[in-house]
Amino acid sequence: MADQPNPTRSPGELARRLIRAADRASLASIQRDSDSWPYCSLVLNACALDASPILHLSDLAEHGKNLKRDPRMSLLYDGTGGLDQPLTGARVTVMGRAVPTTGDGDIARYLARHPSAKDYAGFADFHFYRVEVARAHLVAGFGRIHWIEPTDLLAAPAPALGEAEAGIIEHMNQDHAGALGLYARNLLGRQGEGWQMTGIDAEGLDLRAGGSVARLWFERPVLGAEDARAELVRLAKLARHTGPAR
């Protein structure tokens, strides 16, 4: 189902949902050739299974040069799109350090989320980074403002699901593309054809069709292949008996 604001969610869960759903963020780094002026840029976002942000940055870009000198940075995730009064919506700033990663899981999740990055992933000046979260700051509308520690922001590891993820994605995209389309249209109210799964974690799955992305949340945590199968079947049945979402 489409994600809806829910005041019963903890600040950490609400912030994590914003991070997981976003395919981009604003990155603030410390400008290397100035008197510590902040420099802000647009970056594409993917997530590790625990929701740690994963970035793919060039050494030739200003933010890449800045982070080589000082890895401290912030990412702003904006969940206010489409609201009549944007300041009533949720947004979260994640503060941390950009740490180079060569982990197969991190790289695979980023490239699945952003297929166009495969065109330059092998360039010598491009590197993958996982953000080592220090703190996060959530503003979820007037009067709901929280500092969040990493233990409350990040999800518990799900190693069995991580091992099964690639196989689940391949199976769903090859054999159940129709179900993915039903998820997008009937459960999320998204238009278009050619929806593909790009990732699955304990809390939900990610879809993409061309330049559009969508996030479908699970009813309960999915920790391994059998859990995933049961939840995907449940969602497919629900989608078949649900008219197109509005």
What's the pLDDT score for residue 246?
Answer: 62
- CATH number among 1.10.1660.10, 3.20.180.10, 3.40.50.1370, 3.20.20.70, domain 159-240: 3.20.180.10
Count of Cβ atoms closer than 10 Å to residue 222 Cβ: 25
For 166-185, what is each residue's pLDDT tens digit?
A: 999 999 999 999 999 999 99
- Given a cut of 80, whether residue 7 has pLDDT beyond it is no
- Please list the alpha-helical segments (H only) found in 22-158: 62-69, 104-113, 150-153
Equal CATH topology for 11-153 and 159-240: no
Q: Where are the domains of the chain?
A: 11-153, 159-240
Q: String of b and e for 181-206 (b: at least 16 CB within 10 Å)?
A: bbbbbbbbebeeeebbbbbbbbbbbb
State the DSSP H helix or E strand holding residue 209, giving kind and residue range, or none if neither: strand 204-209
**Residue 2's pLDDT band (cuts 50, 70, 90):** very low
Whole-prediction pTM: 0.93
Does 94 score more than 50 pLDDT? Answer: yes
**Within 10 Å of residue 172's Cβ, how many Cβ atoms?**
21
Judge whether 31 and 38 are in contact, CB under 8 Å: yes
- Amino acid identity, position 16: R
| pLDDT above 60: residue 1 | no
CB 188 within 8 A of CB 197: no
In CATH, the number for domain 11-153 is 2.30.110.10
CA torsion 196-201-204-210 (nearest 10°) is: -20
**Which H/E stretch holds residue 11?**
helix 11-21
In our burial notation (b when 16+ CB lie closer than 10 A, e otherwise), range 70-102 reads ebebbbebebeeeeeeeeebbbbbbbbebeebe
Euclidean distance between CA atoms 20 and 215, whole angstroms:
8
* Crossing angle between the packed helical segments 225-240 and 159-175, to the nearest 10 degrees: 40
What is residue 5's predicted lDDT score, i.e. its pLDDT? 53
